């Protein structure tokens, strides 16, 4: 089966840097994505890694190591509005594409 592991909860202060790790065990791995979801809202896309290495998009960066089945999302210069749930999501290609989500990490940003 497919499994993704990420921490359930992280707390950090405004202005700090936080890293949310994700490990996965899947078959048909194609890439790793990250999504943000505020309570009651829809998930929004943050970042995608199809190849090993670091992808940077503003305050957010994401990393992938295929050999280690591991990735992380790095959030810099944290702001209160970053308080949300963050999901790592593996894209699988098993004759067709689909995306499976991890359980999510709730990030609490304190003043």
Partner 1 sequence: GAVVSQHPSWVICKSGTSVKIECRSLDFQATTMFWYRQFPKQSLMLMATSNEGSKATYEQGVEKDKFLINHASLTLSTLTVTSAHPEDSSFYICSAVREGRGNSPLHFGNGTRLTVT
Contact residues: partner 1, CB under 8 A: 30-31, 33, 35, 41-45, 48, 50, 85, 87, 89, 91, 93, 96-104, 106
Cα–Cα distance measured from residue 31 to residue 18, given in angstroms and rounded to the nearest whole number: 22
28 contacts 94 by C-beta, under 8 angstroms: yes
CB of 73 to partner 1, least distance (A): 14
Residue with Cβ nearer partner 1 (6 or 78)? 6
Q: What are phi and psi of 51, to 5 degrees?
A: -120, 160
* Alpha helix stretches (DSSP H) within the chain: none
Question: CB burial class (10 A; 0-12, 13-18, 19+) of residue 1?
Answer: exposed
Residue with Cβ nearer partner 1 (42 or 111)? 42
Residue with Cβ nearer partner 1 (81 or 96)? 96
CB of 15 to partner 1, least distance (A): 27
CB of 14 to partner 1, least distance (A): 24
């Amino acid at each position: 089966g497919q499994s993704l592991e990420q921490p359930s909860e992280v707390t950090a202060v405004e202005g700090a840097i936080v890293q949310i790790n994700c490990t996965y065990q899947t078959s048909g791995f194609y890439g790793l994505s990250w999504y943000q979801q505020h309570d009651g809202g829809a998930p929004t896309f943050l970042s995608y890694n199809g190849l090993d290495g670091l992808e940077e998009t503003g305050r957010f960066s994401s990393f992938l190591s295929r050999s280690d089945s591991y990735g992380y999302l790095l959030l810099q210069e944290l702001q209160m509005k970053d308080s949300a749930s963050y999901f790592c999501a593996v894209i699988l290609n098993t004759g067709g594409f689909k995306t499976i989500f991890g359980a999510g990490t709730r990030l609490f940003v304190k003043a």
